[in-house]
Amino acid sequence: MFNSLSDRLTTTFKNLRGKGRLSEADVDATIREIRRALLDADVALPVVRGFTGKVRERALSAEVSAALNPAQQIVKIVNDQLVEVLGGETRRLQFAKNPPTVIMLAGLQGAGKTTLAGKLGKYLAAEGHTPLLVASDLQRPNAVTQLQVVGERAGVPVYAPEPGNGIGDPIAVAEGGVRHAVEKQHDIVIVDTAGRLGIDEELMQQAADIRNAVTPDEVLFVIDAMIGQDAVRTAEAFADGVGFTGVVLSKLDGDARGGAALSVAEVTGKPVMFASTGENLGDFEPFHPDRMASRILDMGDVLTLIEQAEKAFDQDEAEKMAAKITSGEDFDLNDFLKQMASLRNMGSLKKMIAMMPGAASIREQLDNFDEREVDRVEAIVRSMTPAERTNPKLLNGSRRSRIARGSGVTVTDVNQLMERFGQAQKMMRQMRGGGGGMPGMGGMPGMGGGMPGMGGLPGGKKSKGKSSSSKKKKGKSGNPAKRAMEERGEKTKPAPVQDGSAFGSDEPKDAFDPANLPDGFGKFLGR
């Protein structure tokens, strides 16, 4: 969503590189570009004015003029201000001292409250809680049914005594949900409330009544990050009419300008607590202002990437793999399948690579990358026999042809996969021998090669030929006489060998006469 803003800011900072000192004109030009980038990203005008004013004030101060690298200091200042605009510090949920903790969701219709209720429930269940979803949206058609389906997919129970579709009292359902949670010993209650296509008095009154009835510990305002400046106006209206303790950004994976979503925390004074980054129930994460600022400035989000990897990768499997490497065993295709499964658990490969620093430079390649390539690779490997996965050297031409037919790909695809897998094996051996390189990571964009089986994100270049350091130096001769001549700088001459004589005989070639052979040898010469 913030790709356009990220590209504009990155280009602006590139223009400052190489300057040992920044004049006031340089700072003014940079501030103008930052202002245009923020306005183009749909950031609210008051937020833009405050942001650029603080950046300019700090950019003209002594901290920049005395810096060894003024351009990097400007980037740091912009990063600090972005973190401040996004809320400053990460805000966690406040749990009740006496369970259950009641969390109420509010927002306009279409913002994604019902789906987000399931995502939040799944997230909290993974944290060790026992959440309960309460269907208090009795107005929107099939809202209750949708919450039941979402709850079933998320593995979270749903309290829905009323069918909805305009039937039932949402306030009574919310109160009944809290009582049911106490009886069934659920420690968290998530109340899904009704929304409208626009702000009206009936919506505000109903939300306020539910809040007064269940006295929630947290009221989360769910806002569609794609609706532009209306996001700010809607947030202000809910803050005045109902009040909320935190914001959840939904549809953050969209391609619309999401600058208005960046303005909500600054305008309302309430922190952004969670972000929904996709359609799957697992595409949900806590909102970290510092990490989001780093993503916008194309500095990556390695901490989130590490956290996702820790959740996805099995510790026992990792220890087994480490033991296998240290014991001298080769990385085989069975291990490769396990790595593929772990990558799937981490989510979208595009999103993972986008969290790497400098990912903006290969955004076009990422957009062109087909996530289904992972499925094709897995199909190729699963078309092999157990013996072929353990010992890939068995894969001759006929076997590769059979595998290609079984997986619905071409023989060329199988050959390319095996070539990249061979590179991964080689890197594994280098790791075992103390060399560098992470197995399978050679295909990260710009690093050459291709992630084994990933088809390689376009743009990587393979090195050709051998470096001069890999050439073997000529050793000294083991013959003392020759070595002495070499040390004196004299060249040794090979012994003269006559034509036709393998042992250097002085006799000419035509001196040999077969007629002089003893009797009986003629049969060996064909005579």
Tens digit of pLDDT for each residue in 274-308?
A: 988 878 888 888 888 888 888 777 776 667 667 66
Cβ burial 453-469 (10 Å sphere, 16+ → b, else e)? bbbbbeebeeeeeeeee
How high is the mean pLDDT in each 10-residue block of the chain (527 residues)?
Answer: 74 75 81 86 84 86 67 83 84 89 89 90 92 92 92 93 86 93 93 80 85 91 78 81 87 68 80 85 86 76 68 66 65 79 70 68 67 82 89 89 91 89 78 49 38 40 40 52 62 47 43 52 48
**250: phi then psi, degrees, rounded to nearest 5:** -105, 160
Report d(CA 437, CA 205) in Å as an integer: 60
Q: Give the dihedral sign, CA 445/450/454/458.
A: positive
Binding residues for GTP: 107-114, 192-196, 250-253
Q: Encoding tokens for residue 403?
A: 């595998």
Domains of the chain (ranges, CATH numbers): 3-85 (1.20.120.140), 101-299 (3.40.50.300), 305-443 (1.10.260.30)
CA distances (Å), origin 348, targets 277, 344, 351, 396: 11, 7, 5, 34
Closest CA to 352 of 432, 271, 440: 440
Q: Give the amino acid at 339.
A: Q
Q: What is the pLDDT of residue 519?
A: 55
Q: End-to-end CA distance of the chain, in Å?
A: 92
Closest CA to 381 of 341, 441, 329, 324: 341
Query: Which residues make Cβ contacts (< 8 Å) with residue 252, sequence separation at least 6?
Result: 1, 225, 258, 261, 275, 276, 277
HSE at residue 127, side-chain half, CA atoms within 13 A, is 15
Beta strands in 182-268 (DSSP E): 188-192, 218-224, 246-250
Cβ burial 157-172 (10 Å sphere, 16+ → b, else e)? bbbbebebeeebebbe
Q: Determine the longest span between alpha carbons in the chain, in angstroms.
A: 127
- Which residues are 286's β-sheet partners? 274
Q: What is the pLDDT of residue 311?
A: 66
